[in-house]
Chains A and B, each alone.
Chain A
Amino acid sequence: MSRLRAVSLIAFALAATACTKSSDQRTGNVLGLNTPGLVTGGAAAGYVDIDKVVAAHPLNSRLQALQDQITLLNAAAVSGPTPVTPAQIKAQDNLQRDLADAQTAFTQALADKQSAYRVKEEQADADISAKALGGTAAGPGGIVGGLQADFQRQMVAMQLSARKTLDAYRSDLYKQDADHLKHVQALLSQDVAAKLRAKDSQLSAGETAYQIRLARQDQDQRLNLKAKLDNLSLSPADRQTYANQLQAIESREASLTGQMKAIDQTTETAYRKQIQDDAAKRFNAERLATEKDTNSKLAARQTELESSIRTQATALGGQFQSKLNSANASLSGNQKVQTQLSDEHAKILAQYQADADAAMASYQATRKQLVAKYSAVARMQFQDNVALSMQAEALAQQRKQLYDGIVRQVQSVVADVARRDGVGIVFGTIAGAGNAVDLTDQVAKEAAALPSTTSQPVAPGG
């Protein structure tokens, strides 16, 4: 804000000196500068229409020529000869199939090479880092991989130990539960048996008393009939009558006793079911209570172990991060290591590039051979659109390099113009201008006078 206030005071002074013109005119006149919009040296913003400047550059015609060639190749790719006869169509199909196979093989080979060189570079980087940190050679995952592996090992060991503790505790609890329930079951069985025995005794006593009561009721009649039957002079008919009457008494008593036993049997069965159901209920209630208690104990133990693991894991993570930070700090601050890493990267990149270029050359040769072979078979000249596309891409690459070179030269010119005119920052691509200074014409004029060669990059920031 203090800077703004200072600027406002300067502006006020300027305004007070010349108060009748527009701000741009007034400021420019007072400062004695020709470019409108400038306030102080290096404090203005400018912009350049890069397209216009590039168009004014002496190499623009070469840029345009490359673009024309690219257009031509693209047009040729879509206006190639068309096979007519069945033999030509078949030959073209075969050509496309073989070209596709060649492309697949090449793509795969290139991917394999990239992967192999990446692994090679990672291993080389890891070795350099490991040596710099005082070790020998690094493992497959490098320094970070090694630290991570240690961290993982300790974490796994900790988790295994906790799991083992919990498993042992669970087994112990289950064994206690099983013993307890077995004991409860035995007690309940004894109780059921005792109650059944008592009931049996009660029913048997009732039956005996009933039999005695029946015998007493019929005692006089039975003795009277027996006495009559003891008379030897009794006629056979009377004897039979008395014997039948005695038999009837015996049968009635047996029947009544049988009825009572049947009732008792039903009573005993119902009673047995009732007390067994009752015992089963009591056992289940005890089992559920035991299980609930055990689960609570297990959950509490698990929570306790998890909390312990979390604490240990946090401590381990902190150690891991600390080691990692220390290793990173040590490596990033080591200029020698950084140079070694950079050299190794450049070396492996060059090896890969050479390898990839050779593979590309071989692939292109294969495509040419295939086109020649099937053109001979079909008696017509086939066209390899992919090859045309690759040529177009190569030209596009050339064009980009040329364009980048031109832009680098333009950047240099812009820097000179900006310094000279006191412009602090220059934008290359804008959507619309406000109070910024348009440097396009000035830069284009100087760019047009540049030599027809390109230069090294100039970083923004002047």
Chain B
Amino acid sequence: MLAALAAASFLLVAPQALATDISDVGFIDQGAVSDLAPFQAARQQFTAYQQSLSPQFQAAIKGKSQADQQAISAQFNQKLAAEQQQLFSALFARAQTAIAAVAANKGLNVVVDKSIVIYGGMDITKDVLDVMNQPGPVVPPVNSPAPSEIGYVDQTQLDALPKAKSAQDTFMQYRQQLQSQLNQQLAGKTDAQKPAIIQSFNSQLSDEQKKVIQPLVDATTKAITDVAKSKGLLLVIDQTARVYGGTDVTADVVKALQ
């Protein structure tokens, strides 16, 4: 009877116990990849293109109304974006394929940016650079990564939720007002008087942040934590730090926050 209970209990908790596997987590220094010669050459070309457009842009907006200037600016930005896409898309695709190939080869199901890993993990930067530096196309892996215990969330989608947007707008408005007051208060003050004014400014800003932003941050963190636990994940990172693989929990978190 006890054995039967034990088995039943195991079945209930097994997913969480099985999920604790961190050997499939790798990290990469994306800065090192972007320092490769083809990326540098593309950046130089892009800068040269930007510089070549600058005089044309200046000439185009000269004497134009603000609305026209905005329209012209949008046109030039489109040109820049198209050039950027042309110069970098193939490089990014090659880098992404190289990361996927190395990850698959090493049995990694998730790769994150080096900046968020303080300790441990497998550094695959050199392997990826070696693959990138090989002549010819990079062969993509046959399999896609298995579901990982590292989740990721698209913070921009959370920021775009009405509650978050409203709170951010309120705080930014307050900050601007406070900054304006600070500038007035500092005018004509001696260096000895200024630190106290600055301290007061920081304190007021911090209070407002606690009042307006912090509840939202807490609610978001709680929602992410609840989703992570319900899915048996170790933790959830921001999408910008996720390079390859991982479990997308954005939709669940958005749903929990609504």
Task: Name 30 interchain pairs, CB-CB below 8 A, sorted by A.
Answer: A3-B21, A4-B21, A8-B14, A8-B18, A15-B6, A19-B2, A19-B5, A23-B17, A39-B20, A45-B234, A68-B198, A75-B186, A76-B186, A78-B183, A325-B135, A328-B133, A414-B118, A415-B118, A425-B22, A429-B237, A430-B235, A430-B236, A431-B238, A432-B228, A434-B149, A434-B225, A434-B228, A435-B149, A435-B234, A460-B27
Residues in B with CB closer than 8 Å to A68 are 195, 198-199, 202
Decide: A44 and B22 in contact? CB cutoff 8 A: yes
Q: How many residues of A contact B (CB 8 A)?
A: 58
**0/1 per residue, B1-39, Cβ < 8 Å to A?**
011011101100110111111110101000000000000
Asked if A436 is at the interface of the complex by the 8 Å CB criterion, the answer is yes
Asked if A423 is at the interface of the complex by the 8 Å CB criterion, the answer is yes
Asked if B71 is at the interface of the complex by the 8 Å CB criterion, the answer is no
Asked if B123 is at the interface of the complex by the 8 Å CB criterion, the answer is yes
Cα distance A321–B13 in the bound complex, in angstroms: 57
Asked, given contacts A43-B21, A45-B234, A79-B184, whether A432 binds B153 with beta carbons under 8 Å apart, the answer is yes
Asked, given contacts A75-B182, A429-B237, whether A460 binds B3 with beta carbons under 8 Å apart, the answer is no
Q: What is the chain B residue whose CB lies nearest that of A410? A: B118
Q: How large is the interface on B (under 10, 10 to 19, 20 to 34, 35 or more residues)?
A: 35 or more
Asked if B192 is at the interface of the complex by the 8 Å CB criterion, the answer is no
Asked if A32 is at the interface of the complex by the 8 Å CB criterion, the answer is no
17 more contacts with CB within 8 A, not counting A432-B223, A434-B225, are A3-B21, A7-B21, A19-B6, A43-B23, A45-B25, A75-B198, A427-B235, A428-B116, A428-B118, A429-B241, A432-B224, A434-B229, A434-B233, A435-B232, A460-B121, A461-B121, A461-B122
Q: Which of these, B18, B120, B235, B238, contacts A4 with CB under 8 Å?
A: B18
Cα distance A100–B16 in the bound complex, in angstroms: 64
Decide: A72 and B198 in contact? CB cutoff 8 A: yes
Q: Which of these, A79, A321, A434, contacts B151 with CB under 8 Å?
A: A434
* B187-244, CB < 8 A from A: 187, 194-195, 198-199, 201-202, 220-221, 223-225, 227-229, 231-238, 241
Decide: A460 and B233 in contact? CB cutoff 8 A: no
Decide: A462 and B234 in contact? CB cutoff 8 A: no
Cα distance A26–B2 in the bound complex, in angstroms: 16
Residues in B with CB closer than 8 Å to A430 are 116, 235-237
Chain B residues within 8 Å of A, Cβ to Cβ: 2-3, 5-7, 9-10, 13-14, 16-23, 25, 27, 112, 114-123, 133, 135, 149, 151-153, 155, 179, 182-184, 186-187, 194-195, 198-199, 201-202, 220-221, 223-225, 227-229, 231-238, 241
In the complex, what's the smallest C-beta–C-beta distance from A48 to chain B, in angstroms? 6
Cα distance A22–B115 in the bound complex, in angstroms: 34
Residues in B with CB closer than 8 Å to A92 are none
Cα distance A46–B120 in the bound complex, in angstroms: 10
In the complex, what's the smallest C-beta–C-beta distance from B116 to chain A, in angstroms? 5
Q: What is the chain A residue whose CB lies nearest that of B199? A: A68
Decide: B10 and A11 in contact? CB cutoff 8 A: yes
Residues in A with CB closer than 8 Å to B221 are 431-432
Cα distance A191–B9 in the bound complex, in angstroms: 113
